[in-house]
Structure formats: C-alpha cells, structure tokens
Amino acid sequence: MSLALEIARISLPVVIVGGITVFVVFRMKHKYKKGTLGKKKSKGAQNLLDSLIPLGMMIGCAVAVLLSMFFPISLLSTIGLGAGIGLLFGYFAYEIYSKKEAIIHK
C-alpha cells in the first residue's frame, strides 16, 4: 500500500501539469486555426500579450520556490506544479487581455 501511495505522490504532479499543458496547447492551436489569436495595435501591447504565458510560468515557478521554503513539499514537484499552474494563469491572462479593447481618451 505504501508503494502505491508513493508512486501516486510522484506521478500526480506530472499528470496535473501534463493535463494543463495539453489543454493550453490545444486551445492555442484551435485559436490559430480559426485565426482568432490576439492582435493589438501597438507593438508594446502586442509584445506584452505575447509574453503573458511565459511570464505566468516564471511567476508560477518563483511562487513555487517560495512555498517550498515554508512548507515540507519537494522542491522538484513544486517547481513543476508552479510552472504548470502559471501556464494556466498566463493563458487566462492572455485570453482576458486579448479581448480587452483600448480605451480612447478624447
């Protein structure tokens, strides 16, 4: 019984992050095929939009490292989970920011 729990504890982060990654990749592939990827008018806004997913992953890794310092969780599994959850949050930020229209001041 202990061996089965240990195998589950080791493989669970891989399964969770793998599911998140497959979801994000297929959603982005679907948006690419439909031609509905986010487009911004200014170069700076487009660069920010394109950088949201990698930024989410880096912030997720940083938060995971901080959490592993204070809680008795393996550093390797927290970095993997942090990057996966950051990928998901970065994708949601991409979706929200790509639909946000510029406010025009008169």
Which tens digits make up the pLDDT trace of 35-51? 888 888 888 888 888 89
State residue 101's pLDDT score.
67
Give the residue ranges of the chain where pLDDT is below 50. none
Determine the 3-state secondary structure of 80 from DSSP.
Answer: helix
CA–CA distance, 64 with 70 (Å, rounded to integer): 10
State residue 77's pLDDT score.
85
